[in-house]
């Protein structure tokens, strides 16, 4: 089976396809001046774009890993996530507190999806 990589940089690809599975990198917002809700929306919009580019959608997400820099931001992040997620096709998910590479980033999300 071939591997197709999308939006590569010098460090990583933002998405990769292998067989009928799509993997995204950990996605962070570009506008780091936004609050947790704004950053979460931007990240989820980028995940939608990447999944579409790979021929799939959020309804086929199998697994979702979320990192927040302050666990107290979990509730407002979940407000945005819950409005975005397909309620009939919720993935397995984890949300943990962690330091991110850029101290201005408040959330990072990585998904694995079926095609």
What tokens does 31 get? 């506008």
**What would the pLDDT profile of 5-52 be if each residue is shown by its tens digit?**
999 999 999 999 999 999 999 999 999 999 999 999 999 999 999 999
Cα dist. 25→12, 41, 69, 72, 98 in Å?
Answer: 8, 16, 18, 24, 16
**What would the pLDDT profile of 70-95 be if each residue is shown by its tens digit?**
999 999 999 999 999 999 999 999 99
End-to-end CA distance of the chain: 14
Predicted local confidence at residue 27, as pLDDT: 98
Radius of gyration of the chain (CA): 14
Rounded Cα distance, 88 and 10, in Å: 37
């Amino acid at each position: 089976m071939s591997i197709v990589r999308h939006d590569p940089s010098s460090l990583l690809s933002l998405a990769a396809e292998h067989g009928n599975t799509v993997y995204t990198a950990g996605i962070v917002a570009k506008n780091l001046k936004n609050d947790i809700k704004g950053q979460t929306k931007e990240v989820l919009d980028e995940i939608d774009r990447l999944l579409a580019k790979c021929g799939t959608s959020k309804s086929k997400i199998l697994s979702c890993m979320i990192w927040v820099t302050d666990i107290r931001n979990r509730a407002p992040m979940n407000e945005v996530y819950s409005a975005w997620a397909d309620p009939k096709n919720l993935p397995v998910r984890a949300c943990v507190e962690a330091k991110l590479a850029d101290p201005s980033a408040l959330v990072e999300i990585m998904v694995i999806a079926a095609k």
